[in-house]
Amino acid sequence: MNVNEYGQVSFTTQEVIDSIYAGSQDVINMIDDVQEIDQHNQHCDALNVMPIEPQHKIHTDATQFHHTNASNWHMPDNYKNLDIIQWLTERLVELRLTDSRYVDTLSNELQEYQKRNMMDLLKFLKYMMDTCREHDIVTGVGRGSSVASLVLYLLGVHAIDPIKYNLDYTEFLR
């Protein structure tokens, strides 16, 4: 399996054949060999099989492609339109975490997220965590440097209070 700079997945012909023999047809249009696809498609009528549509080629610079898609999160409009800063601030109050250490850390951490143009990501994480809770999907306690983030704690991504354990969010947002 190969993944290009656009995140498109492709498989060698042998990987596709192995997948078909294993009972899966999902990877047929992900063959990385265009000549193999062309050869197959030339004989479709004679063999009474469907042609393979080659993978869509992207004609945009990879950096521009990712920048454009960074704001294209698939989530309901109520999450896209959510004032995530207000929601996180209200969440602090709801959890009775109004000590200045919490307020200051939240403010500083949100500035970092804003500088990195990651506010839509936070909205998506809220949507994802709400969806997991609605469907009783276990998400875990926390892992790695992410537990240093107060924002992720407030969103429910992890269950470790970083202020209580004196964790520095800059360890997460390097």
* pLDDT tens digits for range 87-139: 999 999 999 999 999 999 999 999 999 998 899 999 999 999 999 999 999 99
Residue 25 has pLDDT above 70, yes or no: no
What's residue 55's pLDDT?
72
Residue 41 has pLDDT above 90, yes or no: no
Nearest CA-CA partner of 55 in 73, 72, 33, 40: 33
Pairwise pLDDT comparison (125 vs 70), residue with the higher score: 125
Reported as a pLDDT band with limits 50, 70 and 90, residue 159 is very high
Q: Which of 13-27, 43-57, 62-76, 111-125 has the highest mean pLDDT?
A: 111-125
Answer for the pair 111, 64: CB distance below 8 angstroms, yes or no. no
Would you list the domain boundaries of the chain? 2-69, 77-171
Query: In angstroms, rounded to a whole number, what is the distance separating the alpha carbons of residues 21 and 17?
Result: 6
Query: In angstroms, rounded to a whole number, what is the distance separating the alpha carbons of residues 171 and 145?
Result: 6
Residue 79 has pLDDT above 90, yes or no: yes
What's residue 28's pLDDT?
63
Nearest CA-CA partner of 108 in 170, 165, 153, 162: 170
What's residue 30's pLDDT?
67
**Residue 80, CA distances (Å) to 14, 64, 122, 154 in order:** 42, 22, 10, 18
Q: Got the DSSP string for 56-111?
A: PPP-S-HHHHHHHHTT-----HHHHT--HHHHHHHHHHHTT--SHHHHHHHHHHHH
Query: In angstroms, rounded to a whole number, what is the distance separating the alpha carbons of residues 155 and 109?
Result: 13
Q: Calculate the CA dihedral of residues 63, 58, 28, 2 and round it to 10 degrees.
A: -30
